[in-house]
């Protein structure tokens, strides 16, 4: 066994080391500049499944699920299906499911998630979404507007449990497009204006509905653990107001998801144990202060569980005008174009002594904005046929992928114990033409 196999962040001679915290835990450098993940050589995987291909380290996903359970003992965890709606992943995680459409409900059900552990979200829930939720006997529906509470009162099966989505006014210091708990955005009921308290009253007034608790979601890619503590303070304060105004003690607080992951070298990892200590400690203290029983804590992480488990492999098609152009792009990863997400990449499977210099990696699509990553240190002699690996591509890639330019979406291949397992096959031209009836 080589030193690089024992300590994966240590480089082999001439190979840049793996950036700590960006690669799945079973990733290893091997001779000739190749990487293995789950015991499978990435060059072989690319040869067998083609490129682009998304690789998932099953051990990373399982390890993260275990860490989360250990950090929040007693909490209920529902995976945010929107981050990676794939049955094989839902099964490996073994959590409940946060879903926000009839499609995600169907996926959770077919992955064997019991209805009781399905939480239905959505800033808009269509009649089809609600019907699917009722048919699945979804454990909780998270109400997002007064109109929706009226709809639930009219349509939901008797005893349907409802969480009220609160906008607690906590700024989680994330990208504007990812911040969902500040005033002036489309989700939920404002705490500051009293709308959240009113909404709980509206649910309680409906004999057919059961007010199960409160929900908030600060946003995504949140690093600030203090924002979670502040949200807990405000949510427990609202529980106390509900008891005072309505004489009812709600027994659940759902804090949503949002835990951040690093995408580039030098970015800080989310302090999971520190966050858990702050969240659980604040919850206990605030409940004591308000003389409330400690409610059940529900969490809905997506990105933190799966992002780092994923690597996307691309083949370099051309080097032109200072760009490294690859065979994928905004159709398999729209995040850079959507909100300026930043990535890194490394050359895989070719050893070179060429010095490294910053490159821009461009996608294949007919948009000047189809740029996957900038300022990426790659060898100066990068050339067509080279294989590039982009780490931290497990969350909101497959989920946000499109068929732009009628490019089929890449396959998802899980790796573990030296064997690949296809979770989602590559989209074919036949798939692409099927819905077009001519
Ligand atoms: C209500 C809700 N819960 C959980 C999540 C998951 O967030 P993340 O993937 O950042 O953990 C989202 C993401 O948008 C969300 O809207």
| Integer Rg of the chain from CA | 23
Name the residue at shortest CA distance from atom 3 of ligand 1.
Answer: 256
Catalytic residues: 366
300 CB near ligand 1 (under 6 Å): yes
* pLDDT number for residue 187: 78
Average pLDDT over residues 154-180: 83
Q: pLDDT tens digit string along 392-417?
A: 999 999 999 999 999 999 999 999 99
256 CB near ligand 1 (under 6 Å): yes
* Contact criterion met (CB below 8 Å) for 263 and 343: yes
- Coil/strand/helix, residue 41: strand
120 CB near ligand 1 (under 6 Å): no
Q: pLDDT tens digit string along 292-309?
A: 999 999 999 999 999 999
| Atom number in ligand 1 closest to CA 221 | 10
List beta partners, residue 356: 379
Q: pLDDT tens digit string along 202-213?
A: 999 999 999 999
- Cα angle vertex 83, ends 52, 275, to 5°? 125
Distance CA 109, CA 119 (A): 12
Domains and CATH numbers, the chain: 3-58+307-434 (2.40.37.10), 59-306 (3.20.20.10)
Name the residue at shortest CA distance from atom 5 of ligand 1.
Answer: 257
Distance CA 266, CA 32 (A): 26
Average pLDDT over residues 412-434: 97
Our measurement of the distance from residue 63's CA atom to the centroid of its chain's CA atoms, rounded to an integer in Å, reads 16
Instruction: Give me the residue label for tokens 């780490």.
Output: 391
Gap from CA of 13 to ligand 1 centroid (Å): 41
Instruction: Give me the residue label for tokens 């006997």.
Output: 137
Least confident of 182-196, 329-343, 366-380: 182-196
Gap from CA of 351 to ligand 1 centroid (Å): 40
140 CB near ligand 1 (under 6 Å): no
* pLDDT number for residue 15: 81
Q: What burial class does residue 147 get, using C-beta atoms within 10 Å of its C-beta: 0-12 exposed, 13-18 middle, 19+ buried?
A: exposed
Q: Residue 7 pLDDT > 60, yes or no?
A: no
* pLDDT number for residue 201: 97
C-alpha torsion angle, residues 85, 361, 392, 187 (rounded to 10): -50
Which of 220, 228, 262, when mutated, tests ligand 1's pocket best, judged by the most ligand atoms within 8 Å of its CB? 220
Our measurement of the distance from residue 129's CA atom to the centroid of its chain's CA atoms, rounded to an integer in Å, reads 21
Distance CA 420, CA 355 (A): 33
* pLDDT number for residue 171: 74
Instruction: Give me the residue label for tokens 């931290």.
Output: 392
55 CB near ligand 1 (under 6 Å): no
Closest CA to 259 of 239, 240, 243, 274: 274
pLDDT confidence band for 1 (50 / 70 / 90):
very low
Gap from CA of 99 to ligand 1 centroid (Å): 10
Give the rounded percent of residues in the chain with a pLDDT score beyond 70: 94
Length of the chain as a residue count: 438
Gap from CA of 82 to ligand 1 centroid (Å): 8
Distance CA 33, CA 356 (A): 14
52 preceded by a cis bond (ω within 30 of 0): yes
* Contact criterion met (CB below 8 Å) for 216 and 279: no
Look over the chain and give the mean of its residue pLDDT values, rounded to a whole number.
Answer: 94
pLDDT confidence band for 16 (50 / 70 / 90):
confident
278 CB near ligand 1 (under 6 Å): no
Return the percent helix, strand and coil in the chain, to nearest 5: 35, 25, 45
* pLDDT number for residue 39: 98
Distance CA 343, CA 103 (A): 29
Q: How far is CA 306 from CA 5, 209, 228, 230, in A?
A: 23, 34, 21, 26
Gap from CA of 79 to ligand 1 centroid (Å): 9
pLDDT confidence band for 176 (50 / 70 / 90):
low
Least confident of 115-119, 167-171, 190-194, 350-354: 167-171
Closest CA to 162 of 178, 149, 145, 172: 149
Q: pLDDT tens digit string along 240-283?
A: 999 999 999 999 999 999 999 999 999 999 999 999 999 999 99
Average pLDDT over residues 357-363: 98
């Amino acid at each position: 066994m080589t030193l690089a196999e024992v300590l994966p962040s240590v480089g082999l001679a001439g190979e840049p080391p793996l950036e700590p915290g960006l690669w799945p835990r079973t990733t290893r450098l091997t001779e000739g500049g190749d990487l293995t993940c789950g015991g499978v050589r990435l060059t072989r995987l690319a040869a067998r499944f083609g490129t682009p291909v998304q690789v998932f380290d099953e051990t990373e996903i399982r390890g993260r699920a275990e860490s989360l359970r250990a950090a929040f003992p007693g909490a209920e965890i529902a995976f945010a299906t929107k981050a990676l709606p794939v049955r094989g992943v839902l099964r490996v995680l073994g959590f409940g499911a946060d879903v926000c459409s009839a499609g995600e409900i169907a996926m959770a059900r077919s992955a064997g998630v019991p209805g009781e552990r399905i939480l239905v979200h959505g800033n808009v829930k269509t009649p089809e979404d609600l019907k699917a939720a009722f048919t699945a006997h979804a454990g909780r529906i998270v109400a997002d507007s007064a109109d929706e509470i009226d709809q639930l009162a009219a349509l939901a099966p008797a005893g349907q449990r409802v969480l009220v989505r609160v906008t607690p006014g906590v700024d989680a210091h994330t990208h504007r497009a990812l911040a969902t708990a500040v005033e002036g955005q489309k989700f939920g009921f404002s705490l500051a204006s009293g709308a959240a308290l009113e909404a709980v009253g509206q649910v309680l007034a409906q004999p057919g509905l059961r007010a199960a608790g409160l929900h908030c979601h600060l946003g995504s890619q949140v690093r600030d653990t203090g924002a979670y503590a502040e949200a807990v303070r405000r949510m427990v304060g609202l529980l106390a107001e509900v008891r005072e105004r309505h004489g009812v003690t709600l027994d659940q607080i759902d804090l949503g998801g949002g835990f951040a992951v690093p995408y580039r070298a030098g970015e800080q990892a989310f302090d999971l144990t520190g966050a858990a200590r702050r969240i659980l400690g604040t919850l206990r203290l605030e409940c004591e202060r308000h003389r409330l029983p400690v409610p059940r804590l529900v969490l809905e992480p997506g990105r933190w569980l799966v992002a780092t488990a994923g690597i996307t492999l691309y083949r370099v098609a051309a080097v032109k005008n200072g760009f490294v152009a690859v065979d994928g792009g905004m159709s398999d990863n729209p995040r850079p174009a959507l909100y300026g997400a930043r990535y890194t990449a490394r050359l895989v499977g070719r050893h070179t002594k060429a010095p490294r210099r910053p490159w821009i990696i461009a996608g294949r699509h007919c948009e000047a904005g189809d740029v996957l990553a900038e300022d990426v240190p790659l060898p100066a002699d990068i050339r067509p046929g080279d294989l590039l690996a982009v780490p931290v591509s497990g969350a909101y890639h497959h989920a946000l992928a499109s068929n732009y330019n009628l490019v089929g979406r890449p396959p998802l291949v899980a790796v573990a114990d030296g064997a690949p397992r296809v979770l989602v096959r590559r989209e074919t031209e036949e798939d692409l033409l099927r819905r077009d009836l001519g």
